[in-house]
Amino acid sequence: MLGFGAIGEAPLGALPDRLVEQIRNGSNVATLTVSGLIVPEKQGSEGILVKSYGALWLEIAQQLGTDWSKAFQLSPRQWEEMLAGAFAKEGYQVTLTPSSGDRGRDVIAVRDGVGSMRILSSMKRYAPDNLVTRAHVHEMFGVVSADLGATKGIIATTSDFAPQLLTDPGLAKAIPYRLQLLNGGELQGWLKELARTP
């Protein structure tokens, strides 16, 4: 079982004492997220602005780096928070969109300055034998194309993508610069690398 502190000390999703106290006191920040994977800053126009990743995020990223079977213990929303935390650790300004009505975007990651970027991301928490379909990839490409401020789109999944996606003439030229696909192995590698860096 994933948890914080020593493995199994507290179940995944259990709230640390500090967060419980904030909720009791009616803190606005505490009500933005309940899992503790990310540290919210405030509510923005597109969702929750993420201040940083949490200690629980780091522990889970480390565990996933060595045992991918634990990936399927996280809920879809917790995976969205894991993706948001990964972008925050990379130095992006991150927004975690609402659970519903997100318009095909789970996480928005922005980097300003020279080479500025606005990445629209979708997280697919799928079982290993459930592949992301061509329809999902085309849908994300449409979301990116419709947002004139978007630089690129990323679909991350705990599983993999349907075969021959890269040979689709409508997508081949967009990948990886306009649309990037991260399968479970690549996602695991990214999280493992992020967990190692200070």
Q: What is the per-residue pLDDT across 17-76, written as a single tens digit (0 to 9) for each?
A: 554 454 344 333 333 444 678 888 888 888 888 999 888 999 999 999 999 999 999 999
Place of tokens 């929750």: 48
The pTM for the full model equals 0.80
**pLDDT tens-digit readout, 81-102:** 999 999 999 999 999 998 776 6
Query: Using DSSP, how many helices (H) and how many strands (E) does the chain show?
Result: 6, 7
**pLDDT tens-digit readout, 157-180:** 999 999 888 788 878 888 899 999
Q: Give the start-to-end residue ranges of the domains of the chain.
A: 17-196
CA 21 to mean position of chain CA atoms: 27
Please tell us whether the domain made up of 17-196 is placed in CATH 1.10.357.10.
Answer: no
CA 127 to mean position of chain CA atoms: 17
Nearest to 15 by CA among 31, 39, 1, 35: 35
Pairing of strands 152-157, 38-43: unpaired
Q: Are 185 and 177 in contact (CB under 8 A)?
A: no
Radius of gyration of the chain (CA): 17
